[in-house]
Structure 1
Amino acid sequence: MNVYDFKVKTARGEQRSLAEYRGKVLLIVNTATQCGLAPQFKDLQRMHEKYQNEGLAILGFPCNQFADQEPVKDSEMAQTCQLNFGVTFPLHGKINVNGPDADPLYKYLKQEAPGFLGTRIKWNFTKFLVDAEGRVVKRFSPTTKPMKIEAQEKAK
């Protein structure tokens, strides 16, 4: 099993297979527009612009499980992120990342790369790096800035 085995809901409510990203490196992030870490949207967008033609795809998964920081409806999500942060990378339908209703993709990501709290997501903007084979490589904390991830990966 790998990330490509999952289907996710787009912000428009359509099903999309992550197999569409086969061969790309993925940075999967649970997002929230009213989170104190929301300025990371701008760095994620910079990474998207800089590396999308080199095989990096950034995938945002809005989540309202942490202090109701994602009140925007799915239908308004992309527009809100575009206007407020310049986001053009894919944002999906709102999901749960913890608990019994956690999205299957996030259950898998957490199992493959447990964090400080084990298999729970601590907060919005937790990031998972997935290699071009669909394997979860690393988990980054919410406070890890996207540009630090870029620097770490470039140093390898």
Structure 2
Amino acid sequence: MISSCFVTAIQVLILFTLSSPCVRASTFTGSMFEVQISTKLPVKDWVKEAKKDSDPFSLWDPTCFKFVSAIKSVDNQLKEALYTCHSVPGGDENTRLKIYLFIPPERLAPEKQEPCLRAAYKKAFDDWKAGVSANFQIRPEQVQFSCELSV
């Protein structure tokens, strides 16, 4: 997972056009990960639920809305680093998400980490895995985090 991950600094331009005719853009330097959930999730049911929800993100990307809700239920500081998420359509039975974290990539390079920091990140991602698996009612081994960009 993270211990074998080399991530370069990225600038991500994210456009928010949810409920406004104006486009707002922001940039940040952080890290991008792919989350793979090894099952097909009931997105159609979530879209029906989302129509009743006042949060536009729930309708725009119901899978990520559920993922972010699951992450917010986990008690660790890594959730404060979550910037945004988007789901990626796939033809197989897996669900893929891209998540963007406010963690400078150099902090994730194993050769630059203190052992205690490496252990803290591993525990934080393991906690996320447990939270997501409980929220989606799947086994923890069905949730995998991996670096999207590598050197």
Judging by fraction of residues, say which structure has more strand.
2
- The structure with the largest alpha-carbon Rg is 2
Higher relative contact order (CA 8 A, sep 6+): 2
